[in-house]
């Protein structure tokens, strides 16, 4: 039996990070978490590109454009969508996720979901630098693992 499983070695990977500027106090922490994970696992700064976009809805098109260049092994998508008083939360959360999935499947470049969707800013803080860890860090680990796994599938 052949078992395929990616590891967390990122020495030779080229990674792009697409990060939303909206809710910057949260997304900055997600970005720092992602950069820490990449560095800890062997990815050098010159192998990383960071693209800042206005909000979460702009993440999928930017991720797809970067993936289409074939210059990156994986794309990390980072953002924070916090529920407000209108239906806008559901639209942003659902369409961002759907767009990322579509972009990933169309380009065959792994894209990890570090876009947190929460009810309150306190929950966002907890998931970006609090007791729930850092979802940016986790997204980076997921990207590294997926690149290594997909390389085994070739």
Contact 67, 109 (CB under 8 A): yes
pLDDT interval class at 31 (50, 70, 90): very high
Q: What is the pLDDT of residue 131?
A: 73
Q: What mean pLDDT comes out for the span 136-149? A: 98
Q: What is the pLDDT of residue 128?
A: 94
Residues β-bridged to residue 102: none
Q: What is the pLDDT of residue 87?
A: 76
User: Is 88 one of the annotated active-site residues of the chain?
Assistant: yes
CA distance 5 to 28: 30
Contact 20, 29 (CB under 8 A): no
Contact 77, 18 (CB under 8 A): yes
Write down the catalytic residue from 8, 41, 52, 88: 88
Candidates 144, 114, 130; CA nearest to 20 is: 114
Q: What is the pLDDT of residue 100?
A: 97
CA distance 76 to 94: 17
Percent of the chain exceeding pLDDT 90 equals 91
No. of helices (H) and no. of strands (E), the chain = 5, 4
Contacts of 60 (CB under 8 A, 6+ apart): 77, 95, 96, 98, 99, 100, 102, 103
Residues β-bridged to residue 112: 76
Domain ranges for the chain, please list them. Answer: 15-148
Q: What mean pLDDT comes out for the span 125-143? A: 92
Q: What is the pLDDT of residues 82-102, one digit of tens each?
A: 998 777 888 999 999 999 999
Q: What mean pLDDT comes out for the span 74-85? A: 94
- pTM value is 0.95
- Considering the segment(s) 15-148 as one domain, its CATH architecture is 3-Layer(aba) Sandwich (3.40)
């Amino acid at each position: 039996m052949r078992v395929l499983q990616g590891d967390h070695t990122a020495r030779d990977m080229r990674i792009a990070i697409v990060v939303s500027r909206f809710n910057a106090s949260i997304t900055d922490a997600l970005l720092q978490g992602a950069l820490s994970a990449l560095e800890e696992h062997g990815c050098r700064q010159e192998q990383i590109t960071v693209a800042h976009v206005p909000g979460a809805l702009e993440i999928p098109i930017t991720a797809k454009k970067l993936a289409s260049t074939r210059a990156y092994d994986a794309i990390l998508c980072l953002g924070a969508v916090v529920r407000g008083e209108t239906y806008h939360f559901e639209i942003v959360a659902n369409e961002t996720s759907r767009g990322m999935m579509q972009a990933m499947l169309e380009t065959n470049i792994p894209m990890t979901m570090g876009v947190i969707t929460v009810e309150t800013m306190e929950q966002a803080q907890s998931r970006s630098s609090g007791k729930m860890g850092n979802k940016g860090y986790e997204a980076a680990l997921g990207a590294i693992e997926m690149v290594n796994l997909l390389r085994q599938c070739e």
